[in-house]
Amino acid sequence: MFLSLKNKKNLFKSDLFIQGISDETINMMSLQDKESSLVLSRIFRRTVNDNYTIFSDLNFPHIQRRRFMRSNKEGAERFINILFDQGHRVLITPHHNLSLTQKVIDNLEEFSLYWERYTKFHEAITIEVYQDGDPFVLFIKDGNLLGVYCIVPAFVIGDGESTIQELIVALKDRRSKNVLYQQYKLEKIDNTLNMEHIPIKGEVVQLKLSRQIKYGAQYLSITDLIQDQYDSLIKDVNKIVDKKYFLVLSCFSKNILAGVHDKTLVIDNIKQGANIYRHFLAEARFNISSIIKDNFISNAFDKEIYKKAKIYKNSHFTRVSQLIILKEAAYQLGLKSRVLDTRTLLIEDPLNDTRCLFWGGMSQFTTLQARQLADNKHLTKMLLDEYGIRVPKGRLFKIGEYDKASQYISNFNGSAFIVKPLNLMGGRGVSTDIFDHNQLLMAWQRCEQLKCSNIIVEEQILGDDYRVLVVKNKVYAVARRIAPYVIGNGRDNIRELVELKNIERRKNKYLRNSPVVISSYVEQYLSQQGINLNTVPEKGQRVNLSKVSNAGSGGEIVDCSDNVHIDWIPIAVKIRELMANAYHVGIDFLMEDISKSPSDQKWGVIEVNTNPDFAVHLFPSEGMPRNVGKPFLEEIFSPSPQNKFVYRLKILGKVQGVGYRKWFKQVCEFRSVFGYIKNTSSADIVDALIVGYKNNLDETVELSYRGPKNADVRQVIVDDLTDNIEEYRSLQSFEIKVTD
């Protein structure tokens, strides 16, 4: 778990919604870079003795805990003697294994016994003060207390009619549908219980001793019983932890309701992240609507607008990635950009002295919580469903629960359903049109081959797949995604038509990276239609190859931004805000037609992505490219207007007959530089006139020395003509002119 600390002495290493910024990149960053909100998410710095130094800034006691390497038994023994002298019992456990194997010891003989036992298999051992108080957690959002849960061993409550065994079966069924408990099996129940006993109504029957959530324990919300008992503790936490994050503070106390006044109160740890949010939802999900609205949604539903991105020329792109698209958009606005590593980009506004870090297409305003919520498709569905957003009905299964999934599909009553991995992107592993157990098995095996741990089985909603790009309270673009297909020409078989299709896809700078692949799933889908790869379709006949419409799986993209019914806008904005108020998202809808009102058709949300691919809208197969990068950066920076400059260049060297002008035109167009370039009567000179923002022009001049592969630039003479800018304001493109 990663945490944003305010106290700079506790800073350790940058990490917010990503875990991929390299140490080399961090070392290259300036102090100002490191202070940006992307890099200000930190984990605790450990001292040599492995204490959490963050707790030294809190005015409340914390667990005394230290880690010792296998070779330092003497140090561990000294620490234990100190704890014994203070009157404590001691907990010893393998490091990073706190909840799995732990023993409470009261003397040095027991210490030696378990030290020898644990160090046979573990390099490090953790020793800490044993807590005999009750464990509980405080959930904090925006610096405010959101909930208080105590942790209790697994239990059932009698209804006066059911046996303990029947109550346990019902409990397991409820746990299988809970956003948190479904991860953990309820096993090793107290074998002294009489399973045929019928508890009286209201009788509580404890099933286990463990208070570990992963071993069947559960949360019990006591939020209604807590008023201001922990205000001073939360105030202390707010002094050192950024308020904007969702946090959980784990504690022990013998009198939880007494709050900070109970002298046995001890702080265990502070954590942050989407998994912690799942813990909160374990008991809050039944009133999730009001919780999300009150804590994550801004009161801005009256401001939802459709800010359709402008049509844009995309021919100047040589490569396509999230960073390249953002870098090109920065040039359009006169912003400076710097690539920190292969996936991290820093963009700065030189006039307003503002900056923003990006990882892929995500800005520093995309929180870890929003990212991890969107990565978990099942959790996303539960959130949206609780707030009245239509989603396909389905269930999550572990990869080893095929038999349970096989039983579950009877709920679809012969209707088609979908099988898809929980965390894979780009349509990988998705199987559609599943009707029976044989098809389910094939889909399951496909997921196994991709090493998936969790699988979603859900109803298949009929309709077209639409991707809607939402930034804050604005919808920028909409694209319809079409599953791969070929059109017969009366001569070639399906295999040959796929090859022709891929040749055509290579012309699209985005789709060329995702050719149509003839997989076993495609062959199965063709077989269901009574055809195969050797079939020769008639001229004009359309043959669908799959129902997975993602571009990464060979699908097509059609821009539909001009045909969006206005009623979809508030729905899309609401979904973005439900995703922990993510800064921007791509929402995947299934529906009949986005030009029709939602109330006039059946529809559902199948996925939400916090790193939506901008290229979907910039490089469609059909329709107009949409310049989504520029308004995205405008939303973040609100840049001030800049003056433009004019340079005349005389470029000398081997620059004619080597493709220099074509290369230079592409350099200028990518940097939003207008003007022209032309050969001169001298074979070793070309002239260029360039108009644009100063940073863009200076970079263009620097690059002009490089040239294409066969060029050899000896000198570039620059003449600043900015005083005559009015003469050149009409230039709105870049062209190659004929020789003087």
Give the catalytic positions in this structure. 661, 679
Q: Is the dihedral of CA 391, 397, 399, 402 positive or negative?
A: negative
Which run of H or E residues covers position 260?
none
Residue 147 C-beta-side C-alpha neighbours within 13 Å: 26
Quote the CA–CA distance of 531 and 541 in Å, as a whole number: 13
Distance, in Å, from the CA atom of 471 to the CA atom of 576, rounded to the nearest integer, reads: 8
d(CA 574, CA 576): 5
Cβ atoms of 395 and 420 within 8 Å: the answer is: no
CA 515 to chain centroid:
25
Q: How far apart are CA 477 and CA 488, in angstroms?
A: 32
Identify which of 638, 344, 327 has the alpha carbon closest to the alpha carbon of residue 336.
327
Q: Which of 579, 584, 61, 7 is nearest to 242 (CA)?
A: 7
DSSP annotation string for 86-142: TT--EEEEETT-TTTS-EEE-SHHHHHHHHHHHHTT-SEEEEEE---SEEEEEEEET
Where helices occur in 610-659 by DSSP H, the ranges are: 615-618, 629-637
**Three-class SS of residue 440?**
helix
Q: In sequence order, which residues have a C-beta less than 8 Å from that of residue 641 and are 6 or more positions away?
A: none
Q: With b meaning 16 or more CB within 10 Å and e meaning fewer, what string describes 630-668? A: bbbbbbbbebeebebbbbebebebebbebebbebbbbbb
The secondary structure element, H or E, covering residue 614 is: none
Instruction: Find out whether 548 and 555 touch, Cβ atoms under 8 Å.
Output: yes
Q: For 59, which DSSP code?
A: S
Tokens for 337?
Answer: 């950009």
Take residue 721 and report the two structure tokens written for it: 């003509």
- State the burial class of residue 572 (Cβ atoms within 10 Å of its Cβ: 0-12, 13-18, 19+): buried
Q: Which of 270, 354, 349, 468 is nearest to 37 (CA)?
A: 354
CA distances to 162, 478, 574, 583 from 469, rounded to whole Å, are 51, 6, 13, 11
Q: CB of 69 within 8 A of CB of 124? A: yes
CA distance 377 to 422: 6
The rounded Cα 219 to chain-centroid distance in angstroms is 27
